[in-house]
Structure 1
């Protein structure tokens, strides 16, 4: 069968806004497909449910994940997770609960139910390696700043250039987006605006996002066509 896409998002430096873009991407994917999954894979990110404002929503977090082999039903996974604007969210509540094998099982199930977005840590780890291996596309978010681009150059070394694109946060006349792409050796998806919607009380409200954020998310989805993985229904 044809599966939905799996897209990883990570930052080139601290404060780049990668988690916000991951949430926007998941929301846009859900708007098209009717349902999407957002999986938090950053052990020190503070929990993506807090960013979204759904930290009190009923549903399982990473510490409640119990897998015993076999095939996981995507509908069961969807129903047991907190929901945010038609996005089923698996947030980190205990960094020690993150497991590469469990992540593989979870994404294999989720991708049969809708697009999957993974919010990744920027430093190498077995978990990040497992996540990157299953992704059809990886979006590296970096601000248009010299120091940020220097940091991103180290991060991009661990990524597959054939499956990686850049989302540039902000703009700088002295460091245009195409120049950043050339320096990092990665194609540029577009420029992300700084968005106040990510800093509103009560969590991220995607309906208040600036158009540019939604356009870049849509460009990522269009670039990442569904892939036939031979997954059994």
Structure 2
């Protein structure tokens, strides 16, 4: 009788519950082997993934709604870790209000530290909001900054003015807009590039050398447009959650 490959017994299920979508990933020996997105997390989705990928343990991070019955269903099939501000971490959390810190920010910081250990690393997540999170070379998470995301800036100009239209996010754009639409594109997109470069410069002046890792749905926009060098990792939150799950198994 042929036994299953060893990696099948080490599969982790990573669940990141957002406000609109839930991201799921499977990691085998720290390598991502499967990912998908669903609008609603169901028992059927969980059962399929647990069965198909021989899941050993599961972690859930939720900024959106995570029903108790789903948690109970997962716990019936695999050991479940529900990530929150009390969960032990492989880095030191120095945030003064840890109970208010978004779990996605903290997970991304852990992921960035995993990619760039023993060095200062700034994680920038560009999604609904743009978040900046700093981990020092000695593994201390210090916090960072939060600013409006790109789509939020477009919507704000439309919502808080009488006549400015809602402009769709598209690239490239002009530096000097010659219509109202291209002027909005120039202001928002060039403005956000200037903001990000300025913030990176400020952190670099205090924590050098510094690695910068981008993640989030709009991370592609910043690639090769900033004067600062960056790395792009689209699944940094999932990557960080996988490390947190493994860390808690070994403590």
The verdict on a shared fold, with TM-score over 0.5 as the criterion, is no
> Which structure: greater strand fraction?
2
Q: Normalized against structure 1, the TM-score is what? A: 0.31
Larger Rg: 2
Q: Normalized against structure 2, the TM-score is what? A: 0.30
Q: Which has the higher contact order (CA 8 A, sep 6+)?
A: 1
